[in-house]
Amino acid sequence: TLSDRLTSVLQNLRGKGKLSEADIDATAREIRIALLEADVALPVVREFIKQVKDRAKGAEVSQALNPAQQVIKIVNEELVAILGGETRRINLAKNPPSVIMLAGLQGSGKTTLAGKLALWLRKQGHAPLLVACDLQRPNAVTQLQVVGERAGVTTFAPEPGNGVGDPVEVARRSIDEARRAQHDVVIVDTAGRLGVDEELMRQAADIRDAITPDETLFVVDAMIGQDAVTTAEAFRDGVGFSGVVLTKLDGDARGGAALSVRHVTGQPILFASNGEKLEDFDVFHPDRMASRILGMGDMLTLIEQAEQAFDQEKAEQAAAKLGTGELTLEDFLEQMQAVRRMGPIGNLLGMLPGAGQMKDQLAQVDDAHLDRLQAIIRGMTPAERANPKMINASRRQRIARGSGVTVRDVNDLVNRFFEARKMMQQMAGRFGFGMGASATK
């Protein structure tokens, strides 16, 4: 897995504080192999790696993570984003019946999915109608009826003994039947071929035109790997679809097909199928798929823990200092940097005792403001940071000029620092932190 392969890279990078271009390249190389092994299509891999590299090069140095971990974190975030980020819910029509059409190659799992979807919808209080528009294979209609029975829903099929039915006509009539029998969702199963062919596409497109689906779902077998891209493109051009369903994820496919299909067609993945039973079915979760593709759930957990531990350690140090009045501008600067690496400032400050009462002040802190504050503190000497009281008027002017702010900004910072320190000492006292004997006044 990628974790194994990255171990040596990780060891070489341990202890380094900064992401060098060579570090990024080395890590990117391993990730590239992992993606290819997960069956992500080559052009998609290339573009993805390029994107990750660009972002990694611009990334801030993290004290919580080593360089390789940092790259992996970025890779994971980008993967989740490219897989759709948020979970996309299925679109149902405002005026029932909603029409869901399934398209895909033969054997991709359409008929099975029809049953899964029907059961899932029925459990949510819908009354689905399954429609048999695969009239190509002799057993297809029966198969759908069996699946429908298991899901506890009705199946609409052409009457037997009528010769070969017309799937477009069946689809059209099923909508009337749904209205008559008050089904609020219609799920249309269609025929597939082993390979993409024109007749199949035309038939699917004709069915689509007859029933104007609210969702056309392209059903694709995750096991077909790289072929998923060509198949997806053919269905996109031939029929068009609004969402993707990945099937057979219970196999050993690493799920690269998901990334490829999503990336190439731009359409979201709505559901994942992972078994032959009707219950083996779930809404698609981009984050789970990302860790499956990377094959490094453990490492991602480690990264999360390292970040949390780092956060907590800093917060504890700060809390300990608060109570004794030893908090300096140096600590303040360090905290600001830590906070900004890890997200909104409210997160870290929120851990401090009494933070709730400071909500309004915290809300005023934005990035530009933090930039100014950091520049001012950096303009001070270490002695001044430890004891801001010693900064006299001429030093304030120098600091202001050096950091591109006004003297008033410097005064504001120093005054507010004293205020904050006093307030925090009072709060620490109230909350029972060790009030050092020599609280600074």
Q: Closest separation between CB of residue 189 and Mg ion, Å? A: 6
The dihedrals phi and psi of 100, each to the nearest 5 degrees, come to -115, 120
Known binding residue 202? Answer is no
Q: Closest separation between CB of residue 171 and ligand GDP, Å? A: 16
Quote the CA–CA distance of 128 and 113 in Å, as a whole number: 13
Known binding residue 163? Answer is no
Among residues 76, 108, 111, 203, the one that binds Mg ion under rule CB under 5 A = 111
> Residue 169's binding partner, choosing from Mg ion, ligand GDP, none, with beta-carbon cut-off 5 to 8 A by kind?
none
Quote the CA–CA distance of 365 and 118 in Å, as a whole number: 50
Of 59-67, 74-82, 100-108, 210-218, the window that binds ligand GDP (rule: CB under 6 A) is: 100-108
Task: State the Rg of the chain over Cα.
Answer: 30
247 binds Mg ion (CB under 5 A): no
Nearer to ligand GDP (CB atom), residue 106 or residue 440: 106
> Residue 231's binding partner, choosing from ligand GDP, Mg ion, none, with beta-carbon cut-off 5 to 8 A by kind?
none
62 binds ligand GDP (CB under 6 A): no
The dihedrals phi and psi of 379, each to the nearest 5 degrees, come to -75, -10
244: part of which helix (H) or strand (E)?
A: strand 243-247
Known binding residue 189? Answer is yes
The closest of 289, 304, 324 to 428, measured between CA atoms, is 324
231 binds ligand GDP (CB under 6 A): no
Quote the CA–CA distance of 89 and 84 in Å, as a whole number: 12
108 binds ligand GDP (CB under 6 A): yes
Known binding residue 249? Answer is yes
148 binds ligand GDP (CB under 6 A): no
Nearer to Mg ion (CB atom), residue 110 or residue 254: 110
> Residue 108's binding partner, choosing from Mg ion, ligand GDP, none, with beta-carbon cut-off 5 to 8 A by kind?
ligand GDP
> Residue 225's binding partner, choosing from Mg ion, ligand GDP, none, with beta-carbon cut-off 5 to 8 A by kind?
none
96 binds ligand GDP (CB under 6 A): no
Nearer to ligand GDP (CB atom), residue 146 or residue 333: 146
Nearer to Mg ion (CB atom), residue 119 or residue 376: 119
Quote the CA–CA distance of 390 and 378 in Å, as a whole number: 16
Q: DSSP character for 40? A: -
Residues, the chain:
441
109 binds ligand GDP (CB under 6 A): yes
Q: Closest separation between CB of residue 262 and ligand GDP, Å? A: 18
Known binding residue 104? Answer is yes
Quote the CA–CA distance of 236 and 62 in Å, as a whole number: 42
- For the chain, what is the total number of helices (H) and then of strands (E)? 19, 8
Known binding residue 367? Answer is no
**CB-hemisphere CA count at 13 Å for 263?**
23
Residues 234-263 that bind ligand GDP (CB under 6 A): 247-248, 250
CB 62 within 8 A of CB 311: no
Quote the CA–CA distance of 259 and 269 in Å, as a whole number: 9
CB 65 within 8 A of CB 73: yes
392 CB burial (10 A radius; 0-12, 13-18, 19+) = exposed
282 binds ligand GDP (CB under 6 A): no
Known binding residue 108? Answer is yes
Quote the CA–CA distance of 303 and 67 in Å, as a whole number: 11
Known binding residue 436? Answer is no
Token pair listed for 338: 């830590």
Known binding residue 107? Answer is yes
CB 148 within 8 A of CB 118: yes
Q: DSSP character for 137? A: S
Nearer to ligand GDP (CB atom), residue 140 or residue 414: 140
Nearer to Mg ion (CB atom), residue 130 or residue 400: 130
328 binds Mg ion (CB under 5 A): no
Mark 301-340 with x for binding to ligand GDP (rule: CB under 6 A) and - for no binding.
----------------------------------------
Strand partners, 156: 131
The closest of 305, 259, 286 to 87, measured between CA atoms, is 286
> Residue 317's binding partner, choosing from ligand GDP, Mg ion, none, with beta-carbon cut-off 5 to 8 A by kind?
none
> Residue 254's binding partner, choosing from ligand GDP, Mg ion, none, with beta-carbon cut-off 5 to 8 A by kind?
none
273 binds ligand GDP (CB under 6 A): yes
Among residues 111, 203, 242, 328, the one that binds ligand GDP under rule CB under 6 A = 111
190 binds ligand GDP (CB under 6 A): no
CB 255 within 8 A of CB 289: yes
The closest of 216, 223, 264 to 244, measured between CA atoms, is 216
12 CB burial (10 A radius; 0-12, 13-18, 19+) = middle
Binding site for Mg ion (CB under 5 A): 110-111
Binding residue positions = 104-111, 189-193, 247-250
Binding site for ligand GDP (CB under 6 A): 104, 106-112, 192, 247-248, 250, 273-276, 280
Binding residue positions for GTP = 104-111, 189-193, 247-250
